[in-house]
Amino acid sequence: MSYKNMMVSPHHLAAKTGSDILKEGGNAIEAMIASAAVISVVYPHMNSMGGDNFWLISDINNKVIAIDACGGAANCATINFYKKQGFDSIPKRGSLAALTVPGAVAGWKKAYDFSVANLGGKLPLSRLLFDAEQVSKEGIAVTNTLKNNLISKHAQLIEIPGFKDVYFKNGKIPDIGDKLIFPAMSKTFSNLIKNGLDDFYFGEISRDILDDLISLGSPLQKSDFNSYKASYVKPLELRVKDAKLFNLPPPTQGIASILLLGVLNELSNIYQDDISFIHNIVEATKVVFKIRDKYICDPKYMIKNVNEFLKKEFIQNLAKKVDQNLALPWPDSSVGGDTVWLGASDKYGNTVSFIQSIYWEFGSGLILPKTGITMQNRGISFSLNQNHFNKLIPGRKPFHTIQPALAEFDDGRVLSYGTMGGEGQPQTQATIFSRYAYQKKNLQTAINNPRWLLGKTWGEETTSLKIENRYSDEVYKKLKSFGHNVEKVGSFDEMMGHAGAIVKYPSGLIEGAFDLRSDGAAIGG
């Protein structure tokens, strides 16, 4: 706890960087940019400058600002482009999977400009990117999560250009604690400091990126980068008991997260015990995922306005579909993914909820030799079926699992929270919020307590209901009797995601919490 500031990250070095910025007088946005840059280096299996990010900012003017930093599909990326090469679906890895413009750096730029224009941001870019430049040059220590992902995914990635050169030492997977150095990435950060963040899309860095992408066979071209900018968007809002919820609109699954809490708000007696709590969140998840999987895509192409789903009557009708004693069939489709969530709160009154991702572990696996950037594979969420509601169209934004969350309570508290993990994100967001808001658990307990996951998460292919073995046998047996396909997993299992949260109280007190399933930290100052 602190009365000054708080930084939360799933990697302690990123948390320290953000905390240092806050202690130097920087605001929450400046701290987040610095942390986002560092975590792109120290957690390279989960995010990169070659990915996307989304922001929610609760500022000193009592406004909630949302930033969409998601790039669209290349102008050359057409259904015919892939069909001519013999593909019925977009390849999951490699150069052809790298088909969307990375929006992450543009997101940093949009937030940086907002900070300068509206929040008195004064720290120079050279300071905000200094730690990322240094750590990529001096090297990182391989974490358990990085090693495990290299082990589990190396067969998919070993032949992807650049991957083996960066991650394998003498042909072997590095061990925990081994040092990895990223000289090309360090140079990229140096150029960003020298030339500004726009250089990623218009200047020297852009030329280096495109030279590699084009030579390796990606459909991305100069015009795609030159035309891209991050944008402000109107956040989703929903009123529940004692609070107003905020999340990102499409193309994210933010609607699933906020709608899930809306459905739970209509149900009674769901927080009385672990069995009821788990069952009802799982069943409500199934109901809202049916909406997500039928409608959510680039908002320019949606057949319904997303706000239609947030009407009281619509939510009440969804709640009626939740059977409190029976498990419904699981939806046909399922999506994976992983990411990093970070939160920051400053002494000025600003709070940030932030998320950054390359989609699957290591994204496309394509590491560009001139810049050291790992390109995301977010574009594989598109379909090559001409009749699919999320079919591939040049310029179209891909569907995103990632979305940060924010809540403003009637008593003045502001809660910033989120997690990584594909389909686990709406469920874990609902769990953390409910434990804190309704079960009155403190923030760290809300995250530490055992969790569950229905569906796919990062690194996992099965869609069973996975519950940590810290739950009692009674919980396991009762859920099974309801019809759930229950699978026990380890205590503090990483597949449950790396959650985090910050709450700022009207008194000025700031409480932060990180996930023991991660390598993170919550640092106040």
Sign of dihedral through CA atoms 454, 233, 342, 359? positive
Side by side, the strands of the sheet bearing 405-409 are 236-240, 243-247, 405-409, 414-418, 500-504, 510-514
Residue 203 DSSP symbol: S
CB 60 within 8 A of CB 34: no
Distance between CA atoms of residues 356 and 77, nearest Å: 23
Instruction: Give the chain's largest Cα–Cα span.
Output: 62
- In sequence order, which ranges of 239-273 are alpha helices (DSSP H)? 254-266
Task: Output the six-digit token pair for 318.
Answer: 């969804």
Half-sphere exposure of 113 (CA within 13 A, CB side): 13
**Angle (nearest 5°) at CA 105 between 102 and 107:** 95
Distance between CA atoms of residues 312 and 308, nearest Å: 9
CB 180 within 8 A of CB 140: yes
Task: Output the six-digit token pair for 462.
Answer: 């099965």
Task: Output the six-digit token pair for 80.
Answer: 């015919």
Distance between CA atoms of residues 381 and 90, nearest Å: 8
Name the nearest CA neighbour of 90 among 522, 99, 118, 59. 99
Task: Output the six-digit token pair for 311.
Answer: 């009407």
- In sequence order, which ranges of 355-492 are alpha helices (DSSP H)? 424-437, 443-448, 473-481
Tell me which residues are annotated as active site. 339
452 in helix, strand or coil? strand
Residue 163 DSSP symbol: H
Helices (H) and strands (E) in the chain, counts: 18, 18
Residue 108 CB neighbour total at 10 angstroms: 30
Residue 429 amino acid letter: Q
Half-sphere exposure of 458 (CA within 13 A, CB side): 30
Between the alpha carbon of residue 404 and those of residues 12, 114, 417, the distances in Å are: 20, 18, 7
